Structure 1
Amino acid sequence: MKTIRKVLVANRGEIAVRVIDTLDAMGIESVAVYSDADVDAPHVLAAGEAVRLGPAQASLSYLDIEKVIAAAKATGADAVHPGYGFLSENQAFAAALADADIVFVGPPQESIATMGDKITARAAVTARGVPVVPGLSRPGLTDEDLVAAAPDIGFPVLIKPSAGGGGKGMHRVDDLAELPEALATARREASAAFGDDSLFLEHFVLTPRHIEVQVLADTHGNVVHLGERECSLQRRHQKVIEEAPSALLDEATRARIGQAACDAARSVGYTGAGTVEFIVSAVAPEDFFFMEMNTRLQVEHPVTELVTGLDLVEQQVRIARGEELAFGQDDVTLAGHAMEARVYAEDPAAGFLPTGGEITDLVWPAGSDRATPTRSVRIDAGVHAGSVVGSDYDPMLAKVIVHGADRDEAVYRLDEALAQTRLIGVVTNIDFCRHVLAQPAVQSADLDTELLDRLVVDYTAPIPPPEALTAAALGVLDLGTPDDLWSSALGFRIGAPSPYVSRLSVDGNHHTVTAALRSAPDARSLDADVTVSSDGQSWSAHVVVAPRPDGSIGLSADGVQQRWTVRADVDGRRWVAGNAGTWQVTPLKSLTDADADDAVGDVVSPMPGTVVAVPGVDGDTVQAGAPLVVVEAMKMEHTLRAPVDGVATVSVRVGDKVAAAALLAHVAAADENSN
């Protein structure tokens, strides 16, 4: 048995907090590490000790193996838990810990090496009899090799990087003519994300569902599976909503796929917690194919915890100590149904571009408890009010997880939990998750991995109800005091109370809120007849607005009570949040928009990020649509193209850090050049 009294958590965000919670429950001391961007992050505050690694750039902090091991030695940590991402599947990290006589709460380095390379992983599981998707996979494949093999594999094909995970560098290609450009993009993305641009090809299974199986393996030869998770609700190969168990599988198939997962783990001498991912055709669920094995804890592990009652982090620590599993396969039962939604800092209505800013207010659903693995509503979060969301790390902020007696109850509870979540100051995908849950195909579990990409086409940001606009207009006002009306933001005049008119913009749509006061306001409430005009439509109600002790406001419209939270950010915008959603509201000062003709040829960055490629050449004549600059933010690439025909001026270089709305290039149109 190995001694583990203190564990350094080599990660950040929600997974670091989640690991620390279990360490606390086990009576094990915890050590956090942090970058300059995370000085007061929740995981730093949760740990017993914290060690600074370096600047925000991950390569100089969280990915620096020497610094992490030095922190473990300096604090006397017996073990290191890697979480997921960063160094969690890094063979060199596991080897360095072994050399330092520090326990790695993870699998053997040989398992990481084999399963970390999808080509060698396919070979290992094939030898064990685990079915794999038809394709071409061997070391050293060139673009020419892959292009030549594609017709025999059969279109559509899926380009996959040999290293890494999370959907980075993966591309579906339906036509041979598209393959060379897609391969070039995939190699660049794989190299940037994993430092390895090796690729291979697989046939793309039509109507695919993504099913993964959680396994636990101890050092005494025992391997069990904990059932499967349905992860088909994903876009661009990035999971959004996960659940356990899958509604697709019957008990016989569940037993077969679980056995295949255990065989995959045995093929590499695996120990610890791991996940074996399979692709399953929705029309033939009895046929499943191995995709890859993640040699770490998965983001979606909480849904397995909620249906099994097991704490997977606790199991990881016990296995790392050398303990034997306290249960066998027959002891594992799945009770009820669990679902999880990932909360991302992104704007679904703007093509899911990454967002950022300061979280000015944060409220989680009533009854949620991050620290308890078996709870009907659970929050795993890596942010708090005051956290600044930047572009240095993954855009996932938190996970909202629920448990129900069956799938229908779980869907309902997840929607309710998301409706009660208030995250103000940063645009998120919360409303999009609720939009997904409301779809008939999702409610009936008629899923496939392309469903979200189809749903995105019809998705538009929700229109704020008039109550939200009223709260945004009136909820930020300083009402003054009854004996000092001159201090009121509404002003004062003799005779009838002064009307208050506010013009607001939400997602480019203009709204006018007119409040005719019934009496002079005081610090306790505002009583007015309100009219909200939007796009020729109007809504009128008798409204009473009153502050609440928790900092929100109570808004009564014709006697119907609602609770809204309103905040103003440093740029003068307002945020309003309620059960109906969250909106960013911009006060308008004029009735006309500024003329933007002069900027028609500008190419600006849609988000903060890093320039990773500059295909445009300064001074070249280009056609509209020609790629000029490629910006990477939060592990996603965005190609910015010429808006018009003309001569390009490119003002950035590869490696430049750029802010949102920064001018990256300009295309002078033909008529502009002639002036």
Structure 2
Amino acid sequence: MFSTVLVANRGEIAVRVIRTLRTLGIRSVAVFSDADADARHVREADTAVRIGPAPATESYLRVDRILEAAAKSGAQAVHPGYGFLAENADFAQACADAGLTFIGPPAAAISLMGDKIRAKETVKAAGVPVVPGSSGSGLTDAELAAAAREIGTPVLLKPSAGGGGKGMRLVRDASLLAEEIAAARREARASFGDDTLLVERWIDRPRHIEIQVLADGHGHVIHLGERECSLQRRHQKIIEEAPSVLLDEATRAAMGEAAVQAARSCGYAGAGTVEFIVPGKDPSSYYFMEMNTRLQVEHPVTELITGLDLVEWQLRVAAGERLPFTQEDITLTGHAVEARICAEDPSRGFLPSGGTVLSLREPQGDGVRTDSGLSEGTEVGSLYDPMLSKVIAYGPDRATALRKLRAALAGTVTLGVPTNAGFLRRLLAHPAVVAGELDTGLVEREADGLVPDGVPDEVYEAAAAVREAALAPAQGGWTDPFSVPSGWRLGGTPAPLAHWLHAPGLEPVAHRLRGSGHTVTADRVSVTVDGIRHTFHRAGDWLGRDGDAWHVRDHDPVEASLTGAAHAGADALTAPMPGTVTVVKVSPGDQVSAGQSLLVVEAMKMEHVIAAPHAGTVTELDVTPGSTVAMDQVLAVVLPTELADAPDAPTTGAAGTASTAGPTGAAGTTGTAEPAKEAQG
């Protein structure tokens, strides 16, 4: 067994791997960019090595710097985690060439399974059922269109080199094939540097089920059962569970054997996952989609029902050990469900979020496990993946596991950074989820109904109580009575004080306290509204309850009106999310048309186009390519054409407030965020 292992990753997976290394008595080496100098994975490792500036392309994706760190720290092996370089065959080979053990499969297996076309042909030859589709690599547009017509619409166009849903196109109308193929090629080329496509039959309302495999370097391959991963949004998994309620024992055994054969066909070693698409109405008709040649994000649910530490077995296999158990030794006990906590704001169309973690509570124990890379004070930026942590619950049956996970999400507190924890809690209570009637489109269909409409009244009551407490006279000493907001007036009853409050993306409100007996402390607020007591976690202007969080700030209507008056009739275009401006297409003075793309903001592998809300003139442009921006920061101002032609039209000045809002509440934005061109872990 190795004495020192370098973890070539960050965040929760680095912390997770370090935990097992510590258990096995293995010295851990963390690597970090400048953005992660004080990150949790750095503090928990035995030693850490800086590998470059904040951008992943200059740090976590730099093979040479990771190899230098391994040499400097005396590491004998490298664990890649997932994301970044985990499925990079060149990295695996570079580790071997440097005399390091890559804790994963051979480079040849990574290369083979990383090419979707070659992977399908290989497993098909091994007897594994594949989705009907095109065959061969390097097909022309005409050949792809012909294959699609032969299969029959609807069909799915997929980049051979890609993953995560980037570049995928669903085509239901054969007359649109030519333009959709062209668009898919552009996206694939931009995302992966390779525009090779394949076409597959589209299966309506499919289930996404994957099989965990484990193989040693001596030819022994077993599977550890399946995981249900059908709850997805934008082709990204958000809830996973094991086992799946869809499969009976016969289908489970057949799919497991198919996964084992797929692993054998590429000479696999280590932990890996074979993914299948399964028609919900006919689970016996399962089809191979792809193989992930690494540890999966959702591996904890398999660990909980098998009792195996998958990271430990990755290490043991990489060290040359034989698997000491057979397929018959593997038993699946109980049920486990995992929820991915991401830095995103459901109330703003699930746009990436960010900020400083001001208050943190992560449940552990009693059948609940949280894998996290967070700590209080962590700065969540826009450079890396939005996943912050995973909350996993285990029970003797599915109903118990779901109930425990909902309770755990309700007890999760991450104030300072908007997350999806509350949304996931409500999703887990949806009748279809409770019944196990899942498919990959369920979340998209039901998302709107799972996002609260506005801010609950009791949240404003709690925020007003905090303001009132801050204005109350200090205990002891003399207080100027005219400075106390008591509402006192001559010859009348006290008038309740109106507190102006503002939640991002919503109009400011004037709230007068209705209840009594409210209590406010540094970390808690309790208010009574309509006879119901509500208790919130608190950190400054942030309030949290049941996994949801609200940032309710003071609002000065006078100041806001003066600021807005500086741009009478103009629209200030604001950043819909914290991120980096990657593209600027206009300059001050340019004439633009309604809906014209002006800028692109990127955050956490997502891009968002900022478009002109109307025809007009760009009178201000406050950013350049590479600018880092905060959420709601003014980026540009477009003066409407009719005002731009006026003799006294403004040309400069302080940016005002937006008068129009897109679907996310950010002025001038259009569409939804899409995966960015370059994955960063």
- Scaled by the length of structure 2, the TM-score of the pair is 0.86
Instruction: Report the aligned-residue RMSD.
Output: 3.0
Cα separation, partners in 2 of 1:651 and 1:590, compared to 1, 3 Å: closer
Residue among 126, 129, 148 paired with 2:124: 126
What is the CA distance between 1:328 and its match in structure 2? Answer: 0.9
Alignment pair present for 1:218 and 2:216: yes
- 1:271-282 correspondence to structure 2 within 5 Å: 271-282=269-280
Q: Partner residue of 1:314? A: 312
Q: Partner residue of 1:140? A: 138
- Greater strand fraction, Structure 1 or Structure 2: 1
In structure 1, what is the Cα distance between the partners aligned to 2:446 and 2:224?
31
Q: Partner residue of 1:636? A: 606
Residue among 476, 499, 504 paired with 2:501: 504
In structure 2, what is the Cα distance between the partners aligned to 1:456 and 1:122?
33
Task: Give 5+ residue unaligned stretches, structure 1.
Answer: 370-374, 515-529, 532-540, 569-573
Q: Partner residue of 1:446? A: 437
In structure 1, what is the Cα distance between the partners aligned to 2:637 and 2:135?
42
Cα separation, partners in 2 of 1:671 and 1:464, compared to 1, 3 Å: closer
In structure 1, what is the Cα distance between the partners aligned to 2:602 and 2:183?
12
Residue among 561, 564, 570 paired with 2:536: 564
In structure 2, what is the Cα distance between the partners aligned to 1:674 and 1:160?
48
Q: Partner residue of 1:624? A: 594
Q: One-letter code of the match for 2:538?
A: V
Residue aligned with 2:439, SS: coil
What is the CA distance between 1:480 and its match in structure 2? Answer: 5.7
CA contact (8 A) 2:230 2:438 kept: yes
Cα separation, partners in 2 of 1:575 and 1:128, compared to 1, 3 Å: same
Cα separation, partners in 2 of 1:60 and 1:403, compared to 1, 3 Å: same
Q: Partner residue of 1:412? A: 403
What is the CA distance between 1:352 and its match in structure 2? Answer: 1.1
What is the CA distance between 1:179 and its match in structure 2? Answer: 4.6
What is the CA distance between 1:499 and its match in structure 2? Answer: 5.3
Alignment pair present for 1:75 and 2:47: no
What is the CA distance between 1:21 and its match in structure 2? Answer: 0.3
Alignment pair present for 1:28 and 2:21: no
In structure 2, what is the Cα distance between the partners aligned to 1:149 and 1:612?
37
Residue aligned with 2:339, SS: strand
In structure 2, what is the Cα distance between the partners aligned to 1:316 and 1:140?
35
Residue aligned with 2:311, SS: helix
What is the CA distance between 1:613 and its match in structure 2? Answer: 5.8
What is the CA distance between 1:547 and its match in structure 2? Answer: 2.8
Q: One-letter code of the match for 2:168?
A: M
In structure 2, what is the Cα distance between the partners aligned to 1:290 and 1:343?
28
What is the CA distance between 1:657 and its match in structure 2? Answer: 3.8
Q: Partner residue of 1:394? A: 385
In structure 2, what is the Cα distance between the partners aligned to 1:360 and 1:653?
28
Cα separation, partners in 2 of 1:499 and 1:435, compared to 1, 3 Å: same
In structure 1, what is the Cα distance between the partners aligned to 2:189 and 2:196?
8
Q: Partner residue of 1:472? A: 463
Cα deviations by residue, 1:589-646 (Å, 9 ceiling, x for unpaired): 2289745875655554422344556788999876533444444321123233342245
CA contact (8 A) 1:472 1:566 kept: no
Residue aligned with 2:370, SS: strand
User: Is 39-48 or 350-359 further displaced after alignment?
Assistant: 350-359
Residue among 452, 459, 465 paired with 1:461: 452
Q: Partner residue of 1:517? A: none
CA contact (8 A) 2:222 2:327 kept: yes
CA contact (8 A) 2:465 2:520 kept: no
What is the CA distance between 1:648 and its match in structure 2? Answer: 7.2
In structure 1, what is the Cα distance between the partners aligned to 2:621 and 2:173?
35
Alignment pair present for 1:581 and 2:581: no
Q: Partner residue of 1:286? A: 284
In structure 1, what is the Cα distance between the partners aligned to 2:370 and 2:205?
32
Percent identical residues: 51
What is the CA distance between 1:150 and its match in structure 2? Answer: 2.7
Cα separation, partners in 2 of 1:355 and 1:485, compared to 1, 3 Å: farther
In structure 2, what is the Cα distance between the partners aligned to 1:341 and 1:490?
47
Alignment pair present for 1:422 and 2:413: yes
Q: One-letter code of the match for 2:114?
A: G
Cα separation, partners in 2 of 1:654 and 1:553, compared to 1, 3 Å: closer
Structure number with the bigger relative contact order (C-alpha 8 A, sep ≥ 6) is: 2
In structure 2, what is the Cα distance between the partners aligned to 1:231 and 1:624?
40
- Scaled by the length of structure 1, the TM-score of the pair is 0.87
CA contact (8 A) 1:611 1:652 kept: no
Q: Partner residue of 2:670? A: none
Alignment pair present for 1:606 and 2:571: no
In structure 2, what is the Cα distance between the partners aligned to 1:468 and 1:235?
28
Alignment pair present for 1:10 and 2:8: yes
- 1:281-360 correspondence to structure 2 within 5 Å: 281-360=279-358
Residue aligned with 1:324, SS: coil
Q: Partner residue of 1:230? A: 228
- 1:504-543 correspondence to structure 2 within 5 Å: 504-506=501-503, 507-508=505-506, 510-514=508-512, 530-531=513-514, 541-543=515-517
Cα separation, partners in 2 of 1:637 and 1:139, compared to 1, 3 Å: farther
Cα separation, partners in 2 of 1:140 and 1:16, compared to 1, 3 Å: same
